[in-house]
Amino acid sequence: MQARRAAEALLPKLIAWRRHFHQNPELSFEEYETQRFILERLREWGIPASVCGGTGVVAELCTAPHGPWIALRADMDALPLTEVSDRPYASRRAGVMHACGHDAHMAILLGTAYLLKEWAENWQGGVRLIFQPGEERAPGGASQLIAEGVLKERPLRALWGLHVTPQLPVGQIGLRPGPFMAASDEVEIRLRSRGGHGAYPHLTPDVVVLGAHLLTQLQLVVSRAADPRTPTVLTFGIFRAGTAPNILPTEAYLHGTLRTFEESWRTEAKSRIREITQHLAAAWQIAAEVKFAPGYPVLINDPELTRLTHQWSADLLGPANVVEMPLWLSSEDFAFYGKHVPTCFIRLGTAGANPATHLPVHTPAFDIAEEALAIGTALFTHLAQEALRHFASL
């Protein structure tokens, strides 16, 4: 296929761009140098581009203004994580790392822009290229861009995103129609008491013991209140309390994440967490405050667009290399786009010979097999052209 051959020829540039992003990671909504690099490349190729969302970029390619329009999205931000690696392209910024593959996503979208510009005579319509900031930090850059009108400025028929996936080998992609990735909400619990001496627990309500009890008691929301046929996860990654072993502290703090797949249950689960916490705390004369930070909704792949994506991807990669994915308990702010336009989110296989390419995302030695950059670029380019032909024929 033409797209695969062209993307493979472009691979040295794709690798260079990805390594530049990897060496110079920036946190959510701080992607100023990343934005500047992207704008420079796009303008160098004569592709109109503008700033959006503060640190994001929206570019457009158009060969027929009155033809169909589609969009492609890549996220830009890195994570607050220290890279553990002796790779020559390791992060140069202490405590910041592209450990979720957004460096690869940006390189792929740049490569797609380059190829679509080169092949402008081969397709008719318009393509929006969305380089989105702040995916890693709720409420997410997607909701901000939507509020700014990124989906209203053109009559978009479809929008695709992709994400690197060490669970799949290079050359394969994963799709799933309908609900695909979980809704997420952050849970914060503060427990307050007057504090006291550790030798006299009968004189002071103990926020540490109550916090420990809540860690287990709240799991009943998952095991006994949730429909077992619908995945639910409640995880607390932070439990802070105390300054000395013989002091009963005045405050304990728990911070966790709730993952669900159904909106009414999402609402009920939060209500259950609040009620259990407040009732248990009241029984021991402890003040409790429960807050839920706005999270991301369930990511739902439009069934018809996913069917077409499967068909077009199989034509490019071969049917055996397009696999159906299970439900994914991680979340993505790409889900917000799906409330306004048909969307399809693709998992891109990035596991290769290097063991680091099999490590989970969000880990300090995470890496990708860079041959996947050519697969992703070819896929985005192919999907854009096929989709524009399809929508023009309707």
Q: What is the pLDDT of residues 279-330, one digit of tens each?
A: 999 999 999 999 999 899 999 999 999 999 999 999 999 999 999 999 999 9
Which residues touch 158 (CB under 8 Å, ≥6 apart)?
Answer: 70, 71, 302, 305, 341, 342, 343, 344, 387, 391
State the number of CA atoms in the 13 A half-sphere of 135 facing the CB: 29
Q: Classify domain 2-180+298-393 at the CATH class level.
A: alpha beta
Classify each residue of 364-392 as buried b or exposed e, where b means 16 or more C-beta atoms within 10 Å of its C-beta.
Answer: eebbbbbbbbbbbbbbbbbbbbbbbebbe
Distance CA 113, CA 108 (A): 9
Neighbouring C-beta atoms of residue 363, cutoff 10 Å: 17
Give the residues across from 249 on adjacent strands. none
Q: pLDDT at residue 1 above 80?
A: no
pLDDT of residue 280: 97
What's the pTM value of the predicted model, to 2 decimals? 0.94
Task: Give strand pairing partners of 49.
Answer: 59
Give CATH 3.40.630.10 domain extents, the chain. 2-180+298-393
pLDDT of residue 26: 98
Given a cut of 90, whether residue 117 has pLDDT beyond it is yes
- Whether 146 and 337 have beta carbons less than 8 Å apart is answered as yes
How far is CA 189 from each of CA 19, 139, 143, rounded to the nearest angstrom?
40, 19, 26
Distance between CA atoms of residues 247 and 196, nearest Å? 6
Coil, strand or helix: which one is 359?
coil
Helix/strand/coil for 236? strand
Residue 294 has what pLDDT? Answer: 81
Give the model's pLDDT for residue 120. Answer: 94
Strand locations in 199-271 (E): 233-241, 247-248, 251-260
Tell me how far apart the alpha carbons of residues 343 and 176 are, in angstroms, rounded to a whole number. Answer: 12
Other C-beta atoms within 10 Å of 80: how many? 13
The CATH code of domain 183-296 reads: 3.30.70.360
Q: In this predicted model, what pLDDT tens digit does every residue of 63-114 receive, in sequence order?
A: 998 999 999 999 999 999 999 989 999 999 999 999 999 999 999 999 999 9
Q: Provide the token pair at 203.
A: 């004189």
Q: Residues 158, 341: contact at Cβ < 8 Å?
A: yes
Query: So what's the pLDDT on residue 138?
Result: 87
Phi, psi of 230 (to 5 degrees): -120, 115
The reported pLDDT for the residue numbered 243 is 96
The SS3 assignment for 217 reads helix
pLDDT of residue 65: 86
Q: Is the pLDDT of residue 159 over 80?
A: yes
Residue range(s) of every CATH 3.30.70.360 domain in the chain: 183-296
DSSP 23-78: HS---TT--HHHHHHHHHHHHHTT--EEEETTTEEEEEEES-TTS-EEEEEEE---
Cβ proximity of 123 and 392 under 8 Å: no
